[in-house]
Structure 1
Amino acid sequence: MTTSGRVRLGDRRLTSAESAMLRRTAVRLGIQAGLIVAAIVTVLVGVTLAVVLHAEAADTRSMLAAAVSRADNDVADAPANVWLVRRGPDGQRSTDGLPTGAADQRALARTARTGVAETHEREVNGADYQVFTMRRGDTTVQGVLDLGPVHADRRHLLYSLLLVGGLGLVLAAGAGAMLGVRAVQPLANALSLQRRFVADASHELRTPLTLLTTRAQLLRRHLQRGHDHQAALADAESLVHDSDNLAAVLEDLLLAADPHAEAATEEIDLRVLAGGVAAASAAVAGARGVTVRAEGGDAPVVVRGAPVALRRALTAVLDNAVRHAEQTVTVTVHADDRQAVVEVADDGPGLDPGMAPRLFDRFSSAGGSTPDGRQRRFGIGLALVGEIVARHHGEVEALAAPGGGAVFRLTFPRPSTGTGAAPTDPADPVES
């Protein structure tokens, strides 16, 4: 089984819980925006209707007053939807077609008696009318306006305002949800980045701290014995070196956590780097009863990258191999004119083919194949390896070894010019 693929640089995918929180927040913001817009639209619609109805009533009164004022002996020349009623010494006359009961005889009598003009609305046979009555000399004139067309226009205006307001409400809710997602996205990304940094730091610092603990224990053992000062001095130097590596790992983690930061790159001899990582892990591997071997020729295998990041990647792969190996882990470095390859092989449980799609995902695990039922677990180590390799424009592959165990292959492009262009010979083993 072989699985390979590039891991996206700077991947900041949200977890399901973070995505759910983002959706809930966006929905809440959308609802709040919709309610605010609904309140604003309601106020605007109310104000608009009040202004329109007031203007409409004023226009209606003005039209009726003008029609009544112009009415002389002839009541036939009335505006559309208006009927005139004239009561004088010669009797009462009205415009043809005046609806039955539309004229208000009581209002005619009151105005004829008091001389006070009056305006009011009345309903007759299900129809609404506005009536204006005034006296001119010994003649009283009344205008009757059919409010049916006016009310129809009013309903049309109201429906239009409600339609526009409802559409605005829907658009506001959608825009609020979209803006909510955009507003919360940086916060969610920051939360995801913080969680990833904590997880990465916890994982990446575990191996250097384990090495420091092992070195310190060896140094204490030599000091307690009181002899072999050279070995104690070597352990002390290794302790200082591992402390420097720990500080470098912390700095690289901080750089990796900043999406805008770029780590300094330089030409690196992968053979030397892999040999150093193998030598540093030999003590921890020995405590587990595992032997680490570094194989490769003497010719340099040069790539361009960040030394600390590449050391982190090789350390993670080697640590994974040591944890699952039965007896031996082999680190091999070789190259051709275009690519440099580092292979880390162990004789532990093989790889489950079903894990291929998720092999470099965080906290993935594959079923174990050892007699004691152990599982090969990867946590976030291989995910970090994939991200580091992707930043260096390389690829990482996982292969099931023919005789059992697993092989992880890291491939990097080689610089077009520089030292170490010649391929190396992987046949020369070096014990670590």
Structure 2
Amino acid sequence: MRWAWRAPKGSPDDRLLRRTALRMGLQSALVVAVAVVLLCGVAVLVVLRDQHAQEANLMVTTIARADDVDDPPDGMWLVLQRGSQRAVSRGVPPGLPESGDLSATAADGLTRDRDVHLDRAEYAVRTQKRGDAVVQAIMDLRAAHAERDRLVEALVATGLVGLVIAGVAGVWLGRRAVTPLAEALAMQRRFVADAGHELRTPLTLLSTRAQLLRRRARSVDPATLESDVDDLVADTAQLTDILEDLLLAADPRQEVPRQPVDLVALVRQAVTAAEPAAAERGVRLVVDSEPVTVSGYEAGLRRAVIALLDNGIRHARSTLRIVVEPAGKQARVDFADDGPGIDPAIMPTMFRRFASGAQELSPGQRRRYGLGLSLVSDIATRHGGSVSASNGEDGGAILRLLLPRGER
């Protein structure tokens, strides 16, 4: 039996799922509403055109066959005028016939059509010359208008029912469509949380053993060994902070804890930790800095700086220069290497997850980018900053991290 994931009721995932499904339902209803309005408009226009054509044909036929005014079709009246003599059907509405049209048509022989509004009623009036007489047909349009109103009411009622059905179906289908995505996101969060939980214990043991080793080293006074062990303890503490930051990033309910961070000190600590790796590759690390404080979470910022240092060391030929300085309301950290630069084809995607290119360590080869830079982009976004890449004027790549400044 297949296991079906369900978000706990009231949880952030459940609220997100409900909001997404509701949004999809509303969008479906909106699409149906637009379609219904268009179809109703087309249907009404077609009906009105047909009614108008039928009315015109009936009036033309009635005028052509009129020998007198005594037996017009239902809902119609006739006026027959020869010279000064005029005959009018019984019951013609008050205010009619249109004497002006009769006189004008008798004079110039032109056919005239008009709609006349009298006492909340509308009448179609056609005046036409036939032989030596002028005939005027008057048609009551109230029946046609009533039919049109019934049609519009039926279309509106049908459209409202369709909107309700479309909205409910959209919510249901939206929830079914979003559930697999929510399941995948939940599994990802559980994986990160479980990894952080499982790694916390061995890291604690590692830190404890390193502290015991430091005590033993002090008892025999080996200065060099003690310094190395101190660095080991500091690295394990930083690794624990990084795991805490991973757990924080995995929980959508948590906001980034903001606090003033000395960016220069953080960068110099990261550079000190990266110097052994840089020395192995023959890369010299140079730091130019001005005092600047940013607002953010130190562990997350350290992750970003370490990732950018690692990227620069891997692609530099001999020197990686790190520049830290204020830039208006932001702090700027540039990582400029003297490597082969960035392939323009890779530039638009290099901060996406799993986007990569070939690594270029010598002329003729290309750079390589993996998951690290996408994590830097995530961290920068969480802190309200950004990360970008460009090629320097003298060659090499420049990765720039911008972060909002803070005050101590």
TM-score, normalised to structure 2's length?
A: 0.50
Give the one of 266, 286, 293 matched to 1:293.
286
Q: Which residue of 2 aligns with 1:278?
A: 271
Offset of 1:273 from its aligned partner?
Answer: 0.7
Give the one of 319, 323, 334 matched to 1:343.
334
Residues 1:324 and 2:326 aligned together: no
Give the one of 262, 269, 273 matched to 2:262.
269
Residues 1:181 and 2:182 aligned together: no
| Cα distance in structure 2, aligned partners of 1:368 and 1:391 | 29
Matches for 1:196-345 after TM superposition, within 5 Å = 229-297=222-290, 300-345=291-336
| Cα distance in structure 2, aligned partners of 1:233 and 1:311 | 25
Matches for 1:85-234 after TM superposition, within 5 Å = 178-183=171-176, 185-192=178-185, 194-195=187-188, 229-234=222-227
RMSD over aligned Cα, in angstroms?
A: 4.2
Q: Is the 8 A contact 2:294 2:403 kept in 1?
A: yes
| Cα distance in structure 1, aligned partners of 2:249 and 2:345 | 30
Q: Is the 8 A contact 1:332 1:343 kept in 2?
A: yes
Aligned pair in 2 of structure 1 residues 404, 196: CA closer, same or farther (>3 Å)?
farther
Aligned pair in 2 of structure 1 residues 256, 199: CA closer, same or farther (>3 Å)?
closer
Q: Which residue of 1 aligns with 2:344?
A: 353
Offset of 1:372 from its aligned partner?
Answer: 5.5
Offset of 1:311 from its aligned partner?
Answer: 0.6
Greater Cα shift, 370-379 or 402-411: 370-379
Structure 1 regions of 5+ residues with no counterpart?
1-11, 13-25, 27-163, 203-208, 420-432
Aligned pair in 2 of structure 1 residues 263, 370: CA closer, same or farther (>3 Å)?
closer
Q: Which protein shows a greater Rg? A: 1
Tell me which amino acid in the other structure corresponds to 1:295. D
Offset of 1:339 from its aligned partner?
Answer: 2.1
Cα deviations across residues 65-114 of structure 1 (Å, max 9, x unaligned)? xxxxxxxxxxxxxxxxxxxxxxxxxxxxxxxxxxxxxxxxxxxxxxxxxx
Offset of 1:255 from its aligned partner?
Answer: 0.6
Tell me which amino acid in the other structure corresponds to 2:399. F
Q: Which residue of 2 aligns with 1:114?
A: none
Tell me which amino acid in the other structure corresponds to 2:249. A
Offset of 1:201 from its aligned partner?
Answer: 10
Structure 2 regions of 5+ residues with no counterpart?
1-12, 14-23, 25-157, 196-201
Which secondary structure state, in structure 2, belongs to the residue aligned with residue 259 of structure 1? Answer: coil
Q: Which residue of 2 aligns with 1:15?
A: none
Q: Which residue of 1 aligns with 2:92?
A: none
| Cα distance in structure 1, aligned partners of 2:183 and 2:253 | 13
Q: Which residue of 2 aligns with 1:397?
A: 388
| Cα distance in structure 1, aligned partners of 2:335 and 2:278 | 14
Offset of 1:189 from its aligned partner?
Answer: 2.8
Offset of 1:277 from its aligned partner?
Answer: 0.7
| Cα distance in structure 1, aligned partners of 2:341 and 2:233 | 36
Aligned pair in 2 of structure 1 residues 314, 190: CA closer, same or farther (>3 Å)?
farther
Q: Is the 8 A contact 1:326 1:348 kept in 2?
A: yes
Q: Is the 8 A contact 2:284 2:318 kept in 1?
A: yes
Offset of 1:195 from its aligned partner?
Answer: 3.9
Q: Is the 8 A contact 1:201 1:250 kept in 2?
A: no
Aligned pair in 2 of structure 1 residues 345, 198: CA closer, same or farther (>3 Å)?
farther
Q: Is the 8 A contact 1:350 1:368 kept in 2?
A: no
Offset of 1:341 from its aligned partner?
Answer: 0.7
Which secondary structure state, in structure 1, belongs to the residue aligned with residue 393 of structure 2? Answer: coil
Which secondary structure state, in structure 2, belongs to the residue aligned with residue 341 of structure 1? Answer: strand
Aligned pair in 2 of structure 1 residues 186, 230: CA closer, same or farther (>3 Å)?
farther
Aligned pair in 2 of structure 1 residues 198, 290: CA closer, same or farther (>3 Å)?
farther
Cα deviations across residues 341-395 of structure 1 (Å, max 9, x unaligned)? 1111112231111223212111112455554544322212111111111121112
| Cα distance in structure 2, aligned partners of 1:339 and 1:258 | 27
| Cα distance in structure 2, aligned partners of 1:352 and 1:404 | 12
Offset of 1:402 from its aligned partner?
Answer: 1.9
Cα deviations across residues 147-192 of structure 1 (Å, max 9, x unaligned)? xxxxxxxxxxxxxxxxx9xx99xx9799557524324525423413
Offset of 1:411 from its aligned partner?
Answer: 1.3
RCO higher in 1 or 2 (8 Å CA, sep ≥ 6)?
A: 1
Which secondary structure state, in structure 2, belongs to the residue aligned with residue 350 of structure 1? Answer: coil
Q: Is the 8 A contact 2:192 2:246 kept in 1?
A: no
Give the total of aligned pairs. Answer: 241
Q: Is the 8 A contact 1:201 1:253 kept in 2?
A: no
| Cα distance in structure 1, aligned partners of 2:399 and 2:181 | 33
Cα deviations across residues 198-256 of structure 1 (Å, max 9, x unaligned)? 68999xxxxxx9xxx9xx9xxx9xx9xxx992111111011011101111111100110
